[in-house]
Structure 1
Amino acid sequence: MSPEVQRFKEALRKHAEEKTAHIALWGDRLHLDYATLYAEVIDRQQRLREAQVNVLALALDNGPELLLWDLAALFEGLTCLTLPPFFSAAQRQHCLEQSRAELLLAEDGQEAPLQAAGYERQGEFWRRRFDGPSILPPGTAKLTFTSGTTGTPKGVCLGADSLLRVARELEQASHSSNPRHHLALLPLGILLENLGCYAALYAGATLSLPSQKTLGIQGASGVDAPTLLGCLAQRQPESLILVPQLLLLLVGAAEQRLFNPASLRFAAVGGAKVSLELLQRAQRLGLPVYEGYGLSECASVVCLNRPGAHRPGSVGQPLPHVRVHLAADGEVLIEGSLLLGYLGEPERVERWWHSGDIGEFDSDGYLYLKGRKKHQFVTSYGRNVNPEWVEAELTQRSHIAQAFVYGEALPRNHALLWPHRPDCSDSQLDAAVAQANEALPDYAQVHHWTRLQHPFTPANGLLTANGRPRREAIVERYRDLLCPTVHSEESSS
């Protein structure tokens, strides 16, 4: 057992002795105190030892059961793969095949796809035998698959020490706020939330793990707002991890007095660009929101704003466990807590990880991200524009649900827009674009926009499973529209 794993396990054992009646896990109905949590993890660790496997896959919804098995695999030294619920059936099968997971725990109702993938039910587990040597790098504790832009998930192999160092840094980042109740909004198949749960357990806090159904969350982007707000009102969490669209939902609800953020002490937001205007709206409401930045390949969080070191608009200063510097072209390079390698690929030997993100530091060491290096386009006036920056300004306002901005070799930038509501008028969309343009320099502003007849979705091939635009596919689909010399039948402004 590595030093970091031993340290984490000892922290849980100490909580079990000193916080015997303190609620550790709160599921849909189940409550577990720290003493019971520790005993249940040890019991599952023994069951995994008896199973004599190397890789455990978990196809479970958020809840105590998922986390107990996750911890048991960590302490037993197995590789754990938690399948995101928003992955398609084909993507899940790909992950299982590539990981060679011999043992799997799944929700009821998954019998047909598991049998089709070669698994057989044996007691509480699903089992499958794989021939040949493992393709996992030695020491892989967590295997997380990125959905990527091509649709074929790519396996990121991470060691336990890297993961737990990040979890400790997350606990320390929120320590001065002293949140005693963390609620997991995101699926534990998302590495950031998984480590956020570890951080809460390190702190001896209560960890709420309602199912995604209880939260009103479906897939990568479906949210039933009244259900989510009702759950938050009932549970009164003190810390959350958010993606920008969930932050937008909470800010909008708070502005309409449908959500009271008074219980919140610390809310981290990341996963995509957050507009400064949205952060300022949150700040005016008293929402303690701290933007951060990370990558799966760096065991999640790299930089984070935090109490006493907060600069809205930046993603914060690098956390103590990493070093960050910029390449000559502004690309963010990272050292520390890096992946062991990609699944099935040669072992990684580079000291610095090339993130693919463009950034700049201010004089106090706060990092500001400018977008993805590969997504930049150059206008016909020679100005570099990162579309994600512009799209964040558009979508984190009241009317625009989806935006795609294009301007390669063009004198004026064009946006494809999908509204939040079908009754949203063109004049409301035009006002939202004008408002976003006020926060942008002239070369990055949207000069033309088109109201789409259909949204971008995974089903039509224009969105990844976790909600990112497939840029090449969108350009190909709307090439005639984006080219200024060809007439379009869709309504444009």
Structure 2
Amino acid sequence: MREAATELLAEMPAGSNVTDILLARHRQDPAAALYARKQDGVWTDVSTAELLGQVSALAKGLVAGGLRPGERIAVISKTRYEWTLVDLAGWFAGAVVVPIYETSSAHQVQWILQDSEAAAVFAEDEAKEEVVRQAMAGLPRQPRIYRMSGPESGLDALREAGAAVTDEELERVRSLATLADPASLVYTSGTTGRPKGCIITHGNFAQLALNTTEFLPEILKAPGARSLMFLPLAHVLARAVQVICLAAGVKMGHTANMAELIEDLGSYRPTFLLVVPRVFEKVYATAQQKARAGGKGRIFDAAAATAVAYSRACDACNRGAGAGPGLLLKARRAVFDRLVYRRLRAAFGGEVCYTVSGASALNPRLSHFFNGIGVPVLEGYGLTESTAPAAVNPPGANRIGTVGLPLPGTIIKIADDGEVLIKGIGITPGYYHNDEANVEAFTEGFLRTGDLGTLDEDGYLTITGRKKDLLVTAGGKNVAPGPLEDALREHQLVAQAVVVGEGRPYVAALLGLDPEGLAGWLAGAGRDPLDLQAAATDPAVLDELQHAVDGANRLVSRAEQIRRFSVLHTELSEQSGHLTPSLKLKRGQVVEDFAREVDGLYP
């Protein structure tokens, strides 16, 4: 199949905008809890009426402060309830909201403020405010700064100032924007080149939210549905999911402290989660390490194999290629459920019915593992330019290894060269002030994704790699690095893997160690701690990594196998400049910064 589409299931009224979603929820049930805030360790519900009141008061403050409809306001903060208030209040005041990752440097912030021509900036705390002030040096336009927390909160000042603005004036500015107007400028993560401001319209957010709710009713319309957001709200995927939850009436909580994530999952007990692949990888590696350290490694490995086998049997049945798990496999799974699986489910809060994985590819074996233990993983696909979700696996018809079916109102087409092209309700109208990028991004109304993929006979999309990531060895062999890297990251010791070999005689890899995984592995082996530099040359560590490479090599042909590898002496992280805030690898940056190590793999 070369093209697949799903018909639109719902439409926003003409002349409306994303703020009408909150107003509709208020009309339906003003007392319903839409959010929960954690204060002094206790989750407190925020009703729809309370949320609307807080948003309106803040929006009036923006109007009183001179903000004009269509002007841009930036937000630099980690994920928290106040982020949501500013986002919604900005829309109610007619503003275009510009998210900035809270880990951004002053140089990065400066470019976004300059390019977006922001009139105001909401900074989470004093430290973020200082970054913004550094970024403002030399800017032709000096935006106003509002601090979001602390004793001198700009939010409190705005609420006080907003008392002078009438409900009629707020309604006037709120209703000016239509579905075609910009709601946000989301700057691309910059894996290549300078970040571009991607225009996300009110229609992109709102139409996507309504149609996703209708497409995934088992998740979003389930009684008592609730989710805990711990991904950065500066990422378009997290933001889109938040609007989806608002449209569906799903109660949302926030946490940004990763050290408290397990505790928050246990106290909030979400029914579904948005998760990036690295979280699944870490949960699996940590559980495996703990089992081995406690002398239960063989039990864990058997439990993992059973979970994968059970999920594969279910998956085959979903595809019409099998009868599902047999009695013996069901019995084995029941035994391991008591011994292993229920404890792993508890790590997600104990009540998770579904997880949605996005932002990057998830290794199919990991997906089978979590499906098999009772934490179903529905993998989806999208880009900043598609307002994140463009395809997703629906509950009850999940096909592991694919990223699912087109969302309603979306068409996915495979070009002659294998590139995935998308058209639909979530697709950006273009980049802000960047005509050259717009010409490159679109062809005949379809967005060029830069990803390679296939569609099966039922319209399920499988992503096979990135056009720019595809390696061609000196012998002319095309190698997709993704499957090898995914398999290597499953190992406890490996945080990141970068497969290289462009124009080289064979395939090789750079491996970045996981500090936590290394500490656990050494403790399990009864050894003293090692820093990353010492571990990179330790014979036992290198031998264990060779086993990981051998395992990955079994997944590919001989010509695609990794012949040599080098262990990096430093950690690849967002702070080092080698990962994006959504934990995607900046492959080009890694290869550039570690060119000497790459050359050393080819003596």
* 1-structure distance, mates of 2:475, 2:409: 41
Amino acid at match of 2:571: P
Deviation at 1:432, TM superposition (A): 1.8
Deviation at 1:237, TM superposition (A): 0.6
* 1-structure distance, mates of 2:48, 2:463: 40
Is 2:438 aligned against 1:344?
no
Is 2:122 aligned against 1:112?
no
Is 2:226 aligned against 1:208?
no
Asked if structure 2 preserves the Cα contact closer than 8 Å seen for 1:358 and 1:370, the reply is yes
Amino acid at match of 2:428: L
* 1-structure distance, mates of 2:564, 2:145: 56
Asked if structure 2 preserves the Cα contact closer than 8 Å seen for 1:140 and 1:160, the reply is yes
Deviation at 1:333, TM superposition (A): 0.8
Amino acid at match of 2:598: L
Residue 14 to residue 353, structure 1, CA distance change in 2 (3 Å): closer
Alignment partner, residue 302 of structure 2 = none
Alignment partner, residue 130 of structure 1 = none
Q: Highest relative contact order (Cα 8 Å, sep 6+), 1 or 2? A: 2
Alignment partner, residue 167 of structure 1 = 209
Alignment partner, residue 26 of structure 2 = 16
TM-score under structure 1 normalisation?
Answer: 0.86
Alignment partner, residue 154 of structure 2 = 124
Alignment equivalent of 2:273, drawn from 237, 240, 249: 240
Asked if structure 2 preserves the Cα contact closer than 8 Å seen for 1:400 and 1:418, the reply is yes
Residue 89 to residue 170, structure 1, CA distance change in 2 (3 Å): farther
Alignment partner, residue 333 of structure 2 = none
Count of residue pairs the alignment pairs up: 464
Residue 95 to residue 429, structure 1, CA distance change in 2 (3 Å): same
Q: Which moved more, 1:34-43 or 1:342-351?
A: 342-351
Instruction: Mark the runs of 5 or more structure 2 residues left unpaired by the alignment.
Output: 1-11, 137-141, 147-152, 159-179, 292-342, 522-540
Amino acid at match of 2:572: F
Residue 459 to residue 241, structure 1, CA distance change in 2 (3 Å): closer
Instruction: Mark the runs of 5 or more structure 1 residues left unpaired by the alignment.
Output: 128-137, 217-223, 488-493
Asked if structure 2 preserves the Cα contact closer than 8 Å seen for 1:74 and 1:160, the reply is no
Q: Which moved more, 1:362-371 or 1:71-80?
A: 71-80
Alignment partner, residue 382 of structure 1 = 476
Map 1:27-426 onto structure 2 (within 5 A): 27-29=37-39, 31-50=45-64, 51-53=66-68, 54-109=71-126, 110-116=128-134, 117=136, 118-120=142-144, 124=154, 139-150=181-192, 152-177=194-219, 178-179=221-222, 180-210=225-255, 212-213=256-257, 216=258, 224=259, 227-252=260-285, 257=343, 259-260=345-346, 261=348, 262-336=350-424, 337-346=426-435, 348=438, 350=442, 351-421=445-515, 422-423=518-519, 424=521, 425-426=541-542
Secondary structure, aligned partner of 2:468:
helix
Deviation at 1:60, TM superposition (A): 3.0
Asked if structure 1 preserves the Cα contact closer than 8 Å seen for 2:72 and 2:119, the reply is yes
Amino acid at match of 1:409: G
Q: Give a deviation string over 1:120-171, Cα, whole Å, max 9, x none.
A: 55782799xxxxxxxxxx8221111112124632211111101222222332
Asked if structure 2 preserves the Cα contact closer than 8 Å seen for 1:357 and 1:372, the reply is yes
Amino acid at match of 2:385: E
Residue 486 to residue 397, structure 1, CA distance change in 2 (3 Å): closer
Deviation at 1:324, TM superposition (A): 0.8
RMSD: 2.7
* 1-structure distance, mates of 2:472, 2:560: 10
Q: Give a deviation string over 1:90-139, Cα, whole Å, max 9, x none.
A: 21222112111112222221343333414455782799xxxxxxxxxx82
Q: Give a deviation string over 1:41-82, Cα, whole Å, max 9, x none.
A: 222333333333311212233222211221122244321112
Deviation at 1:253, TM superposition (A): 5.4
Asked if structure 2 preserves the Cα contact closer than 8 Å seen for 1:381 and 1:411, the reply is yes
Amino acid at match of 2:211: E
Secondary structure, aligned partner of 1:357:
strand
Asked if structure 2 preserves the Cα contact closer than 8 Å seen for 1:16 and 1:36, the reply is no
Q: Which moved more, 1:383-392 or 1:237-246?
A: 383-392
Deviation at 1:303, TM superposition (A): 0.9
Residue 22 to residue 253, structure 1, CA distance change in 2 (3 Å): farther
Deviation at 1:254, TM superposition (A): 6.2
Deviation at 1:485, TM superposition (A): 7.8
Q: Give a deviation string over 1:276-305, Cα, whole Å, max 9, x none.
A: 111111112111110111011111111111
Asked if structure 1 preserves the Cα contact closer than 8 Å seen for 2:186 and 2:199, the reply is yes
Residue 121 to residue 76, structure 1, CA distance change in 2 (3 Å): closer
* 1-structure distance, mates of 2:189, 2:409: 26
* 2-structure distance, mates of 1:457, 1:353: 30
Amino acid at match of 1:89: A
Residue identity over aligned pairs, in percent, reads: 28
Residue 231 to residue 458, structure 1, CA distance change in 2 (3 Å): closer
Q: Give a deviation string over 1:354-407, Cα, whole Å, max 9, x none.
A: 111010111111111111101111123322112233212211333311101012
Is 2:429 aligned against 1:429?
no
Q: Give a deviation string over 1:387-435, Cα, whole Å, max 9, x none.
A: 2332122113333111010122334310111222345522221222222
Amino acid at match of 2:101: P
Higher helix share: 2
* 1-structure distance, mates of 2:204, 2:475: 44
Asked if structure 2 preserves the Cα contact closer than 8 Å seen for 1:419 and 1:429, the reply is no
Deviation at 1:477, TM superposition (A): 4.0
Amino acid at match of 1:162: N
* 2-structure distance, mates of 1:183, 1:485: 44
Amino acid at match of 1:301: P
Secondary structure, aligned partner of 2:54:
helix
Asked if structure 1 preserves the Cα contact closer than 8 Å seen for 2:109 and 2:132, the reply is no
Residue 163 to residue 9, structure 1, CA distance change in 2 (3 Å): closer
Query: Larger Cα Rg: Structure 1 or Structure 2?
Result: 2
Asked if structure 1 preserves the Cα contact closer than 8 Å seen for 2:192 and 2:588, the reply is no
Residue 4 to residue 307, structure 1, CA distance change in 2 (3 Å): farther
